[in-house]
Structure 1
Amino acid sequence: MSEEMNNEQEHKGPRKFIARPKVCQFCSDKNIKIDYKNTDLLRRFVTEEGRIRPRRQTGTCAKHQRAVAVAVKRARYIALLPFTSEPYQDVIR
């Protein structure tokens, strides 16, 4: 009986995480427009440090990732989004 249990446990192995394929939210919902003035939308694609998140994290397609990058850069230039956060501001004071 114990041998049967050991054999069953060996064959099962660890559970594997099955990831669902990410779908570009801009391709699935045509009403969402990428605009440099829409800072609420753009903040989802920027890390706390101010860097643009990669496609593998956001799930956007290449076409819309390029558009997001251009919009973030324009919003930074106009000062709607910060270039970087200031994590060391308290240390400097």
Structure 2
Amino acid sequence: MRRRPAPSKTRPDPLTAAGIEYIDYQDTDLLRRFVSDRGKIRSRRVTRLTVQQQRAMARAIKNAREMALLPYASGTNR
């Protein structure tokens, strides 16, 4: 059987590293970093956010979509 590789050092989440404590739905520059080019919310594994931060980010993105600050979907041809 193979040995498991040693766990790599965990990278700090981007919000803590940037010193951001409150996620505001009006800060579209920040929110766009956590949305894919298709308009989907990126997963925690990709963004490295904590559970609480991911929930707050998802809520802020959904609020921004409702207020027409972010698109629901982009790049679709329907």
Q: What TM-score do the two structures reach when normalised by structure 1?
A: 0.67
Query: Quick check: 1:22 aligned with 2:11?
Result: yes
Percent identical among aligned pairs is 41
Q: How far apart are the structure 1 equivalents of 2:48 and 2:13?
A: 6
Do the aligned partners of 2:37 and 2:75 also contact (CA within 8 Å) in 1? no
* Structure 2 residue 71 is matched with structure 1 residue 85: no
Map of 1:66 onto structure 2: 55
Give the match's secondary structure for 1:70.
helix
- Secondary structure of the 2:31 match is helix
Q: Partner letter of residue 57 of structure 2?
A: V
Kept in 1, the 8 Å contact 2:34–2:41? The answer is: yes
Runs of 4+ in 1 over 6 A off after TM superposition: none
Structure with the larger helix share: 1
Q: Which runs of 5+ in 1 are unaligned?
A: 1-15
Structure 2: gaps of 5 or more residues: none
- Count of equivalent residues: 73
Q: CA RMSD in A?
A: 2.1
- Radius of gyration: which is bigger? 1
* Structure with more relative contact order (C-alpha pairs < 8 Å, separation 6 or more): 2
